[in-house]
Amino acid sequence: MATIQFDLVSPERKLASLEATEIHIPGSEGDFTAMADHAPLLTTLRPGMVKVVAGSVVTEYVVTGGFVEISGTTASVLAEHAIPKSEVTEDTINALVEAAEEAAKGTQGAEKDVADKCVADTKALLALI
């Protein structure tokens, strides 16, 4: 099966660099799957779970936002925060929710709607762990 080069980095560290058969991505406009020969795409991420399939191995990462750039042969995720699911605890998610709620304070109009959605998406991560 054809593969796509997957790289995941956050400001703290590089979390992954591997050949994957599919990558499930929480895009800000909706979830999508990237595979080899995907059409070029540059979009933003929403808080959620990035799932990487490499053969029979599936690895998941919690991300809180950022950007993803996809070409036919590569998928690069530049995350605001990214944590391997195996390292995530309920306390970790609660801290991310608190940070999202703090960032939402004082926002108005369309900016408030986006901030409130970010808080809701971050809270939904609790169900995924």
Cβ-count burial of 111 within 10 angstroms (0-12 exposed, 13-18 middle, 19+ buried)?
exposed
- The answer to whether residues 18 and 68 belong to one domain is yes
pLDDT band at 1 (very low <50, low <70, confident <90, very high): confident
Q: Which of 27, 26, 7, 3 is nearest to 17 (CA)?
A: 7
**pLDDT tens sequence across 54-90:** 999 999 999 999 999 999 899 999 999 999 999 999 9
| Domain span at 73 | 4-85
Whole-angstrom distance, CA of residue 41 vs CA of residue 51 = 18
Overall average pLDDT of the 90-114 stretch: 92
- The answer to whether residues 79 and 46 belong to one domain is yes
**pLDDT tens sequence across 35-58:** 999 999 999 999 999 999 999 999
**Residue 11 · residue 32 · CB < 8 Å:** no
- The answer to whether residues 118 and 62 belong to one domain is no
pLDDT at 106: 87
Cβ-count burial of 113 within 10 angstroms (0-12 exposed, 13-18 middle, 19+ buried)?
exposed
pTM of the model: 0.90
- The answer to whether residues 80 and 55 belong to one domain is yes
